[in-house]
């Protein structure tokens, strides 16, 4: 059955020519990003704690994308073991995501250097000059997150080799601005380095649109989290399949005196309990039972271990089911290679439909 190319009904030869030209066009749009990553496709896997480990990362890289290990709270020895295990599963490029606030960041960078990791992602804040130099002196390419144009320019000056702009539609820790706005703000003005878009992406047509605006490629997390190769618990994946976009909501802050870092995940009993916990903690603070620091700590500790409970143990009611708004586009557990092929085919089919529409004779 030929791909759905809209209202135009071409003959077989015209369709084949349109698809061939569209694929060449899409490859050209992706060339800068794919070249930077050293991959077939300019598609990165988002670094998701407990999810982006050796199996999913190697599967993404083996399918022609770019897997990224999530270091999270790992220490140097554990990260070294995970990198080695990933290298045993793929000979293709992959990266490592490190959190800038990690107390052993210097040692983690050294682990990446010794393992000859080609790309290091520094996330969670603007990296120090020392961290930037350590990554680049080790021969790796540095990728940073830019939540605004002014920071994008600063990161390029610092030495970032590529940027990711991630909208608030994403899962996990999020910023306040949507990808739609960030792309308009950043893409026309940052040309020195490749810029990858992220947040709420679930279909190839959307990736194509951002690449036509100047993006070098895209980063996806939510769709890969529910992939066959993901070690996430079956109940975690089924929660994704059942969810709609509106179910992926950011955490709510009850009192501005006790800041809550916004995290997007599926609403469940845990998110409702978190609101109640904030209210109870505030009452204890007002009653003098807790000082401000102790109250803040009590709020922050509520979710301790909650992501692992959801991902690994399958507790999708009390755990933290981090998911982006693209979760509504997760309709099945699919192999990574199938997901990537589907994304590329959607983009190519869209380009082919345009070509055929332009070639069609105008109506009389």
**pLDDT higher than 90, residue 144:** yes
Structural domain range at position 262: 244-322
Is there a single domain that holds both residue 225 and residue 278?
Answer: no
Is there a single domain that holds both residue 52 and residue 120?
Answer: yes
Residue 272 located in a structural domain: yes
Residue 33 located in a structural domain: yes
- pLDDT digit string, tens, across residues 108-135: 999 999 999 999 999 999 999 999 999 9
Please report the pLDDT score of residue 297 as a whole number. Answer: 95
Is there a single domain that holds both residue 59 and residue 123?
Answer: yes
Please report the pLDDT score of residue 11 as a whole number. Answer: 78
Alpha helices in the chain (DSSP H): 12-37, 54-62, 76-89, 105-114, 129-137, 149-158, 179-186, 204-213, 222-225, 234-242, 269-286, 292-300, 306-311, 336-359
DSSP H or E segment with residue 74 = none
Pair 186, 312: CB distance under 8 Å: no
Q: Which of 109, 165, 167, 104 is nearest to 133 (CA)?
A: 109
Is there a single domain that holds both residue 45 and residue 130?
Answer: yes
Count CB-CB contacts under 10 A for residue 286.
11
| b/e sequence 164-184, b meaning 16+ C-beta within 10 Å | bbbbbbbbbebbebbbbebbe
CA–CA distance, 247 with 232 (Å, rounded to integer): 19
Percent of the chain with pLDDT over 90: 91
**pLDDT higher than 70, residue 152:** yes
Is there a single domain that holds both residue 161 and residue 297?
Answer: no
**pLDDT higher than 80, residue 67:** yes
Rounded to two decimals, the pTM is: 0.94
Is there a single domain that holds both residue 190 and residue 279?
Answer: no
**pLDDT higher than 50, residue 281:** yes
**pLDDT higher than 90, residue 65:** yes
**Count: domains in the chain:** 2
**Residue 24: which CATH number?**
3.20.20.70
Is there a single domain that holds both residue 291 and residue 348?
Answer: no
Is there a single domain that holds both residue 193 and residue 221?
Answer: yes
pLDDT band at 364 (very low <50, low <70, confident <90, very high): very low
Mean pLDDT of 149-168: 98
| Helix, strand, coil share (%) of the chain residues, nearest 5 | 50, 15, 40
Mean pLDDT of 35-51: 98
- pLDDT digit string, tens, across residues 96-115: 999 999 999 999 999 999 99
Is there a single domain that holds both residue 61 and residue 132?
Answer: yes
Is there a single domain that holds both residue 345 and residue 310?
Answer: no
Residue 254 pairs with which residues in a beta bridge?
none
**pLDDT higher than 90, residue 13:** no
Is there a single domain that holds both residue 190 and residue 315?
Answer: no
């Amino acid at each position: 059955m030929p791909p759905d190319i809209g209202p135009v009904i071409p003959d077989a030869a015209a369709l084949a020519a349109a698809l061939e030209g569209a694929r060449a066009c899409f490859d050209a749009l992706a060339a800068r990003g794919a070249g930077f990553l050293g991959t077939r496709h300019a598609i990165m896997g988002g670094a998701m704690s407990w999810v982006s480990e050796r199996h999913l990362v190697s599967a993404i890289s083996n399918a022609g994308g770019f897997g990224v290990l999530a270091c999270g709270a790992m220490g140097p020895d554990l990260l070294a073991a995970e990198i080695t295990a990933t290298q045993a599963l793929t000979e293709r490029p992959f990266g490592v995501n490190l959190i800038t606030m990690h107390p052993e960041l210097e040692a983690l960078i050294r682990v990446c250097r010794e393992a000859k990791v080609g790309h290091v992602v520094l996330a969670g804040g603007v990296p120090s000059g020392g961290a930037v130099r350590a990554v680049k002196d080790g021969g790796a390419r540095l990728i940073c997150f830019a939540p605004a144009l002014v920071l994008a320019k600063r990161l390029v000056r610092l030495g970032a080799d590529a940027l990711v702009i991630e909208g608030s539609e994403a899962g996990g820790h999020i910023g306040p601005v949507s990808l739609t706005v960030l792309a308009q703000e950043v893409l026309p003005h940052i040309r020195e380095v490749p810029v990858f878009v992220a947040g709420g992406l679930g279909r190839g047509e959307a990736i194509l649109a951002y690449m036509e605006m100047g993006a070098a490629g895209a980063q996806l997390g939510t769709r890969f989290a529910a992939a066959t190769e993901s070690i996430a618990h079956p109940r975690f994946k089924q929660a994704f399949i059942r969810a709609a976009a509106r179910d992926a909501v950011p955490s709510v802050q009850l009192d501005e005196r006790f800041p809550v870092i916004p995290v997007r995940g599926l609403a469940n009993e845990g998110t409702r309990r978190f609101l109640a916990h904030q209210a109870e903690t505030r009452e204890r603070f007002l009653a003098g039972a807790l000082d401000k620091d102790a109250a803040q700590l009590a709020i922050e500790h509520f979710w301790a271990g909650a992501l692992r409970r959801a991902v690994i143990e399958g507790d999708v009611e009390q755990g933290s089911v981090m998911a982006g708004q693209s979760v509504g586009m997760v309709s099945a557990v699919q192999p990574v290679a199938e997901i990537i092929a589907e994304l590329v085919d959607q983009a190519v089919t869209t380009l082919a439909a345009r070509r055929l529409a332009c070639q069609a004779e105008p109506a009389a």
